[in-house]
Structure 1
Amino acid sequence: MSGSFVAFFILSLLTIGGAVFMISFTRVVHMVISLGITFLSIAGLFVLLEAEFVAVSQVLVYSGAISILMLFGIMLTKHDASDEGTGRSWKNTFSLIFVAALFLVIFWGIQNTAWPGVTESAEAGVSNVKQIGLEVFTHFVIPFELVSVLLLVALVGAIIMAKKEGDNE
């Protein structure tokens, strides 16, 4: 057993465990913490795949920003704690059976797939961040700029909608 296999196994268990706990917990704050663990584990898997830029983006965007945004949304809204976790006995049993069957199908598919050999996709000594930058700013400049304009329009629209809702009160 190599170290990367052990790291992959542990990160995979954390990813799957965090996702299962996220749908199993009854308190929303616990769900967000489980989701954060899942996001961090996925970032670790990206590091194992030597995609450091994607891993850092995963940590910054999802583990940091999205999880904090969810926690603020939960903390700032009113909800009744007695409503959480009611009527889940048959749903838990059905979910367990479904997840076990899905696991068996995926495991069978992975074991019976003929995987191609490892190919050397990147030149030695060239970082994938440099490759991403070169691709984005040489071949995909126009889509990159269109996405930035789209995000700006969405931000302005959200501000206008929030201002209209605030004026009604």
Structure 2
Amino acid sequence: MFNGFSDFMANGSNWMFLVFSLMAIGGAIFMISFLKVVHMVVSLALTFISLAGLYVMLNAEFVGFVQILIYGGAISILMIFGIMMTKHRQGEEDEPKRPWHTALVFIGALGLFGILFYAIQQSTFTKGEFQAAEDNTMAIGKLLYSEYVIPFEIMSVLLTVAFIGAIVIAKREEE
């Protein structure tokens, strides 16, 4: 059952994969389990940053750094709008705790983990060498500004209009 596990864990990149994947899963679980908006957003940011680490490990540096830049900025805006547009009620009771929900979720998660672990142990993976491009960021840049320049510009205009629309909606509710 654990025949190749020690060889797998002897490699440092596999340890980094394990750390980043556990951070991504943990951040996602915390995101859906927290009740305060700020805590949810910080957990979501942890998930995005750990996914960026996984992208960098896959030699997709451009995607990893874009993940940090765009989602880092988006998370900041989401936090600001989330705090500004939600009503914070002090002193109200939270919904009643249901311990059997937690137990069922825990049993379901363990069952899913067991099924996935069994499926991975029983499958055979072919060994092959990954041939990464010498400079994939330059290749993406050349494609982005030659073949895909029109969709790139349309997307920038669309994002600008969406941001202005969000400001108008926030101003309208303020008045």
Conserved? CA contact 1:26–1:84, under 8 Å:
no
1:44 maps onto 2:67 in alignment: no
| Counterpart residue number, 1:97 | 107
Report the residue type matching 2:108 in the other structure: F
Given candidates 120, 125, 132, the residue that maps to 2:140 is 132
Show the counterpart of 1:35.
44
SS of match in other structure, 1:41: helix
Q: Deviations over 1:106-130 (max 9, x none)?
A: 333333444343344334xx22110
Measure how far apart 1:155 and its partner are. 4.0
* 2:116 counterpart letter in structure 1: I
Residue aligning to 1:66: 74
CA distance in 1, matches of 2:13, 2:22: 14
Give, in angstroms, the shift of residue 83 of structure 1.
Answer: 4.7
Q: Which runs of 5 or more residues in structure 1 are unaligned?
A: none
Displacement after TM superposition at 1:4 (Å): 0.5
Q: Which runs of 5+ in 2 are unaligned?
A: 1-9
2:162 counterpart residue number: 154
Q: Deviations for 1:34-78, whole angstroms, at most 9, x for unmatched residues?
A: 22222221111111111111111111122x223322332343232
CA distance in 1, matches of 2:163, 2:36: 31
Q: 1:104 is paired with a residue of what secondary structure?
A: helix
Q: State percent identity of aligned pairs.
A: 43
Residue 14 of structure 1 deviates from its aligned partner by 1.4
Question: Are positions 1:107 and 2:91 aligned together?
Answer: no
Provide TM-score, normalisation by structure 2: 0.74
TM-score (norm. length: structure 1) = 0.76
Which whole-Å CA distance do the structure 1 matches of 2:170 and 2:73 have between them? Answer: 20
Partner of 2:64: 55
Partners in 2 of 1:68 and 1:109 — Cα distance? 39
Q: Report what 2:13 is aligned to.
A: 4
Q: Which amino acid aligns with 1:129?
A: T
Task: State the alpha-carbon separation in 2 of the partners of residues 134 and 116 from structure 1.
Answer: 33
